[in-house]
Amino acid sequence: MSIQESELALRLNLLLLDDEQDIINSLKRLLRKDYNIVSFTDGPSALDYLREHPIDIIISDMRMPIMNGAEFFTHAKDIQPNAIRILLTGYSDMETTIQAINDGGIYTYIGKPWENQELKLLLNQVSEHYLLKKQTRVLNEQLSDANERLTQFNHTLEQKVTERTAALVQSKTKLSKALKSQNSLLHDVLDMMSTTIEYRTGFGAGHNKRVALQCKGIARYLGLDDAICRRVYLCGLLHEIGTVGLSDDIIAKVGVGTGKLDDEFMHHPVIGAKIVARVSRFDALTENILHQNENVDGTGVPDHLAGDDIPIGARIIRVVKDFDFLIAGKENKQLMSVPDAKSWLMSRADTWYDKVVVSALFSVMNERSDFGEDIEYSVGIEGLKIGDTLLEDLVLTNGNIMLTAGQEITAPMIEKLRNYEDNYDTKITLFIA
């Protein structure tokens, strides 16, 4: 493109309409250097041109034989509404000028005869106005296009967010199911291991589960964090896993209530810790299982730890398992009542047992608050409450079942149990929820 062509491309397109050629020629001479000019002497021809070519500014005479300026501008407005329309008129044509303003939407009018400099100045102002409006239209179009793209983007984004959310929900559901299945499997395995331990030791059914729940209840009562509570629960389930490595003769010598503990039996936690350590996810359980037979005065086994050097989980397990053995151990030939067992534990607080843990056990048993879901409480008749549910059959020393599991404790039942204790000079232990 030549320099001349570039200059022409930058100019505004001006259409002149007048039935007098002399006027058109005069305007051309005046404006040819500043505008790309086309001219016509009749309205229909000019309208035909407008239909095919873009025009920026239109100057039209008012009085013309075929179509006057007002009529022409009315049609031109419909064809190219953005073009600036200027009317050439005499002062005698004021009525039709007003019509052109109303119907043709003219920007301004120029009176005849005109002054050249004033006309050029007016057209400069008109050009600036046109270019500003054109720029505004372009910006509005760009803004509209951007808004449309933004709307589409937001719609697409919403769709993607919806799809992603649905995918995440689906993944979460699958993961939740997988975790639930995994946890269920883990609990099944732990229950199987617990049952195996109870079968091996001859301890009563549910012993390990009861110990585990009571351990967790004490941990919660002491305000330990949830991770430690869960850990203590698992240790309670598996605290006797080391007994699978002991001989029948050693198992038969169990007797915490006599104070005559076989040294080999007391070391079963060492075996248990080694077994548990083989499972990586149970690493945190090892120390509690290993040190469950330590005494707070340092006389226990296997490492003679004392006081707070003994893991809190181990101190809890020691108290709970011994308490359960005293009142319900099938291999214990000297079963105690709940009050006697409490006294026995207190007599050894600060020597064998952590006094704080012993007190916590008694508080959990007495208060029976929400220290652990499904916790099984061990109580004597004095601790029974009307409405309690019996969790295990009450079996008398002669083997007869006095009460069956699932029964709700009533006032007559409590009275019957008191009479039995008085008549047979014995103490009854019950396991309730």
Question: Domain for residue 384, yes or no?
Answer: yes
Does 330 share its domain with 286?
yes
Q: How far is CA 151 from CA 141, 148, 158, 163, in A?
A: 15, 5, 10, 18
Q: Is 297 helix (H, G, I), strand (E, B) or coil?
A: strand
Stretch (H or E) spanning 239: none
Q: Which of 68, 90, 114 is the last residue of a domain?
A: 114
H, E, C per residue of 84-147 = EEEEEECHHHHHHHHHHHHHHCCCEEEECCCCHHHHHHHHHHHHHHHHHHHHHHHHHHHHHHHH
Does 252 share its domain with 388?
no
Does 388 share its domain with 309?
no
CATH (domain of 109): 3.40.50.2300
Question: Domain for residue 219, yes or no?
Answer: yes
CATH (domain of 408): 3.90.105
Which residues 6+ apart lie within 8 Å of 302 measured at CB? 267, 269, 270, 290, 291, 293
Q: Determine the pLDDT at residue 6.
A: 47
Which residues 6+ apart lie within 8 Å of 236 measured at CB? 208, 211, 212, 213, 214, 215, 216, 317, 320, 321
Q: Determine the pLDDT at residue 258.
A: 45
Does 367 share its domain with 242?
yes
Residue 15 lies in domain: 3-114
Sheet holding 84-89, edge to edge: 35-40, 12-17, 57-61, 84-89, 108-111
Nearest to 427 by CA among 367, 311, 323, 341: 341
According to DSSP, the residues that pair with 88 across neighbouring strands are 61, 110
- CB-CB contact of 402 with 395 (8 Å): yes
What is the maximum span of the chain, computed from C-alpha positions, in angstroms?
143
DSSP 8-state secondary structure symbol assigned to residue 373: T
Does 416 share its domain with 324?
no
Q: Determine the pLDDT at residue 5.
A: 46
Q: Which of 78, 98, 114 is the last residue of a domain?
A: 114
What pTM did the predictor assign? 0.59
CATH (domain of 229): 1.10.3210.10
Q: Which residues of the chain have pLDDT under 70?
A: 1-9, 91-104, 176, 178-192, 194, 198-205, 252-263, 331, 369-373
Nearest to 72 by CA among 81, 61, 84: 61
Q: Which of 65, 81, 114 is the last residue of a domain?
A: 114
CA angle 379, 208, 272 (to 5 degrees): 140
Stretch (H or E) spanning 299: none
Amino acid, single-letter form, for residue 260: K
Question: Domain for residue 410, yes or no?
Answer: yes
Helices 355-367/312-328 angle, 10° precision: 60
Does 8 share its domain with 69?
yes
Look at the chain and report how many structural domains it folds into: 3
Does 364 share its domain with 264?
yes
Does 100 share its domain with 208?
no
